[in-house]
């Protein structure tokens, strides 16, 4: 239980930092160039609580899934694999779905996929190092 809580807290902060770097730094100009598609900043800030809740729910679910499927194998490989699988199930799906529904430039979608896939792998590694199971002794 203690490892789970530590993983949730660490994962939450990794996600927040990564999302901040991706969306507020790297993609800032892309969002300025497509400003007519997004809510005004004050309206976004009024809904930050919903984003924080979404990140928390995502992290709790991801940690629970990882804990359930972790094997007694090296944590690096498991973390990378888990991050890639998260990216396929969440990042690629949501980015491509958004591209179908919203008139966003395809290069913005590519950047979403690249940035958030890298974040998913980093997140997977953090969860894996914290939640690595004890190795079975012979």
The boundaries of the domain holding residue 80 are 2-131
The encoded tokens of residue 57 equal: 């729910």
Mean pLDDT, rounded, of the chain: 95
Segment 68-93, tens digit of pLDDT: 998 889 999 999 999 999 999 999 99
Task: Answer yes or no: is 136 within a domain.
Answer: no
The count of domains in the chain is 1
The structure's pTM equals 0.92
The encoded tokens of residue 54 equal: 């979404």
Nearest to 29 by CA among 133, 89, 108, 136: 108
Measured CA to CA, the distance from residue 25 to residue 119 in angstroms comes to 14
Segment 6-36, tens digit of pLDDT: 999 999 999 999 999 999 999 999 999 999 9
Segment 29-56, tens digit of pLDDT: 999 999 999 999 999 999 999 999 999 9
Task: Answer yes or no: is 138 within a domain.
Answer: no
pLDDT number for residue 133: 81
Task: Answer yes or no: is 42 within a domain.
Answer: yes
């Amino acid at each position: 239980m203690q490892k789970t809580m530590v993983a949730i807290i660490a994962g939450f902060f990794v996600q927040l930092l990564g999302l901040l770097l991706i969306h507020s730094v790297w993609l800032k100009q892309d969002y300025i160039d497509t400003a007519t598609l997004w809510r005004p900043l004050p309206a976004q800030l009024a809904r930050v609580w919903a984003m924080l809740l979404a990140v928390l729910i995502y992290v709790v679910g991801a940690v629970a899934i990882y804990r359930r499927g972790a094997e007694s194998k090296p944590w690096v490989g498991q973390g990378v694999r888990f991050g890639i699988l998260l990216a396929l199930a969440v990042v690629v799906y949501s980015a491509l779905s958004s591209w179908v529904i919203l008139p966003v430039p395809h290069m913005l979608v590519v950047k979403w996929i690249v940035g958030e896939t890298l974040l998913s792998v980093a997140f997977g590694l953090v969860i894996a190092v914290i939640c690595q199971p004890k190795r079975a002794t012979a």
